[in-house]
Amino acid sequence: MLCEPVENNELIFRVRTMMATRSHSSEIVSLPPTSADSVQTKSSLFLPSAATPVETSAIERQDSYSVTALTDITDRSLHAALARLTGGLSPAALGSAYLDWAVHLAGAPGKRLQLCDKAFRKSIRFANYATRCALEGGRSECCIEPLSQDRRFAGENWQIWPFNFISQAFLLQQQWWHNATTGVRGVSKRHEDMLEFGSRQLLDMAAPSNFPLTNPIILERTVSTGGFNLVRGTQHFIEDWERAVSGKKPLGTERFKVGKDVAVTPGKIVYRNGLIELIQYAPATETVRPEPILIVPAWIMKYYILDLSSQNSLVKFLTEQGFTGVHDFLEKPGPGRSLACDGRLSIIGHSRCA
């Protein structure tokens, strides 16, 4: 009696298990094939083939190289054209110097007040000079003297009215601009030097000595030659422009031969490597000093920059003072000799030790 319930219970459990298994298997089998295919198709969209990433990365690298090359060529071409137009001057450097000066000057009301005071005082000084000239027949003591190296207004013709007015007004204006471009607090020394030099160059371009109508010497020469000086000047301008456009050397350079007209101090090459030639000049006195002088010219200059002629040769002067001049001549880089700055300094150091 006790086993029957157990057997019945076990049978019931087996029957229920079989029914549940059949029901589960029937559900799986009854799934339509299209659903399974669609599931497989959808899953395949998210699992790309193994060759796709490699091909994509190769294409991306190729595109990246192309864009980099195009960018480099475009920038270099633009910079080369801009350098040819500006004569090698960097507009970015000049612009940064000007902005540095303008911003700090705008934030310096005391400096601006000082400049206004200087402009007022210079105006009063020029007015007094004009009054004295009018009372003394057009000649009076100058209200401002040019710098010692400035010989543009040194002629007697510049002391006659109205050219004395023009020259004095220009010198006063030049001095004011020097005060305006220097001494501004906050401006870096490099930018201040650039701005002061640039303003001086612009003022020199506008100097009255550069224009025929405001230069008494040119006017006198024009009258004496009947205007042929202007004709010759025009011819020289056209010739210089033609040589500059065609890439020819300036007129007159053929008269200077190295070893004959320039670099005539006797000497010999005592050392040579892939970058430099070491020239030792012969002594010009019976006794020489125990230590030689080593001259290293700038890389952009010729080795005979300090030995141009017998009248202006530092090398000749040193040899006449008993020095055995030694000149460090840097050759121009050629094919296969691309050295960085460190490499050049290393070779120069080895040559000096030799």
pLDDT one-digit tens code per residue, 265-314? 888 888 887 777 788 888 888 888 888 888 877 766 777 777 887 777 88
Query: Number of folded domains in the chain?
Result: 3
Whether the Cβ atoms of residue 192 and residue 184 lie closer than 8 Å to each other: yes
The reply to whether 53 falls in a domain is no
Q: Are residues 185 and 114 both part of a single domain? A: yes
Report the candidate in 273, 272, 351, 285 with the shortest Cα–Cα distance to residue 324. Answer: 285
Shared domain for 239 and 327, answered yes or no, is no
User: Across the strands, what pairs with 5?
Assistant: none
Residue 290 lies in a domain: yes
Same domain, 200 and 237: no
| Dist CA 124 CA 136 (whole Å) | 18
Q: Which of 191, 210, 229 is the last residue of a domain?
A: 210
Give the range of the structural domain holding residue 302, as residue numbers without chain letter.
267-353
In a domain, 8, yes or no: no
Query: Do 202 and 274 fall within a single domain?
Result: no
Q: Do 186 and 245 have their domain in common?
A: no
Rounded CA separation 135/333 (Å): 66
For residue 79, tell me if it sits in a domain. no
For residues 197 and 157, membership in a common domain is answered with yes
Q: Looking at the structure, do residues 206 and 102 belong to the same domain, yes or no?
A: yes
Q: Are residues 109 and 187 in the same domain?
A: yes
The token duo for 193 is: 């030097």
Return the residue matching tokens 């091909």.
Answer: 55
In a domain, 126, yes or no: yes
pLDDT tens string, the chain, 354 residues long: the values are: 444 444 445 544 554 555 554 444 444 444 444 444 444 444 444 444 444 555 566 666 666 777 888 888 999 898 888 888 887 888 888 999 999 999 999 999 999 999 999 999 999 999 999 898 888 877 778 889 888 888 899 888 898 888 999 999 999 999 999 999 999 999 999 999 999 999 999 999 999 999 999 999 999 999 999 999 999 999 999 988 888 888 787 777 777 777 777 787 888 888 887 777 788 888 888 888 888 888 877 766 777 777 887 777 888 888 888 887 766 666 655 554 555 566 656 655 655 555
d(CA 177, CA 115): 9
Q: Which one, of 285, 270, 289, lies nearest residue 354 by Cα?
A: 270
Residues 179 and 118 in one domain: yes
104 and 178 fall within a common domain? yes
Same domain, 225 and 204: no
In this structure, is residue 274 part of a structural domain? yes
**Which residue type sits at 144?**
I
Q: Is residue 88 included in any domain, yes or no?
A: no
Burial group, residue 12, by CB count within 10 angstroms (0-12, 13-18, 19+): exposed
What pLDDT was estimated at residue 2?
40
Task: Assess whether 183 and 118 both reside in one domain.
Answer: yes
> Is 156 within a domain?
yes
